Structure 1
Amino acid sequence: MTFVILGCALPAYHVWWPFFVVLFYILAPIPTLVARRYTDDSGSNSNPCMELAIFVTMGFVVSSFALPIVLARSPEADPVIQWGACHFTLAGNVIVYLTLIGFFMTFDQDDSDYSMW
């Protein structure tokens, strides 16, 4: 989050449009959490509900990487954000999503249960 805020608030950039990726941070884990809670582990490798949840989650992840790039590549006469802000936002994306992956890997072990989530 620090990189995203730096990409928005530094005096050189001073535009808060990149902060909209926080919406994707909030929405990204929700389909997977819901699918894991309401699917049964019947031992099969293919689960349509989980595959749909992963597809929707990947849509959110790709959108969070695409939004700052699209904002920076707007018409060159007046770009919405500068490339430095885009790079800060992309670095923040990488860190946030690595943290989410670490969360799911930690709580996906057999000895821990995150059904309370």
Structure 2
Amino acid sequence: MCEADKNTVCGLIVLAFSLSCGLTLVVLGCALKPYGQWWPLFVLFFYVLCPVPTVIARKYSPDLSGGASSALIEYCIFLTTGIVVSAYGLPLVLAHTGAIQWGAAGLTLAGNTVCFFTILAYFVIFRGDDEFEFSVF
């Protein structure tokens, strides 16, 4: 096994561990006996939606190796920012309205931080490793 493959495998293992720690924090915010409400699990939708604009921007934008930007990339960054802010806002709104307790909101916010940094790390680490090319034809 070559050195690049070992680094890729090690990177995937670290990212998987990090994501599982973040999801564990979210589940703890739901499942611990004092909290007992499963509303914070709705942030999982934001984890699934977060990388979608970036994947779309990578697919349909031209090669921007010179540091230039395009309207599509800027719009996708805007959408991703809205998704991330919504993921942080949901537990705060739920706690403010009394649907969940503040401790559950804190655990969910900590899980959000870990999961979103994991998603960011994935896109930073594996920026140019797109071996799979999707073709419409």
- Indicate the residue corresponding to 1:22 in structure 2: 44
- C-alpha distance in structure 1 between counterparts of 2:60 and 2:132, whole Å: 10
Structure 1: any 5+ residue segments left out of the alignment? none
- C-alpha distance in structure 2 between counterparts of 1:61 and 1:15, whole Å: 22
Instruction: Indicate conservation of the 8 Å contact 1:107/1:114, yes or no.
Output: no
* More helix, by proportion: 2
- Indicate the residue corresponding to 1:102 in structure 2: 121
Report the TM-score when normalising by structure 1. Answer: 0.88
| Runs of 4+ residues over 4 Å off in structure 1 | 114-117
Report the TM-score when normalising by structure 2. Answer: 0.76
Instruction: Indicate conservation of the 8 Å contact 1:5/1:19, yes or no.
Output: yes
2:34 to 12, 20, 26: 12
Structure 2: any 5+ residue segments left out of the alignment? 1-22
Letter in 1 for 2:90: L
Instruction: Indicate conservation of the 8 Å contact 1:37/1:115, yes or no.
Output: no
| 1:65 is the counterpart of 2:88 | yes
Letter in 2 for 1:113: D
Letter in 1 for 2:68: N
C-alpha distance 88-58 of structure 1, shift in aligned 2 (>3 A): same
Identity over aligned residues, as a percent? 47
- Indicate the residue corresponding to 1:85 in structure 2: 104
Q: How many positions carry a matched residue from both structures?
A: 111
C-alpha distance 45-3 of structure 1, shift in aligned 2 (>3 A): same
Structure 2 residue matching 1:57: 3-state secondary structure: helix
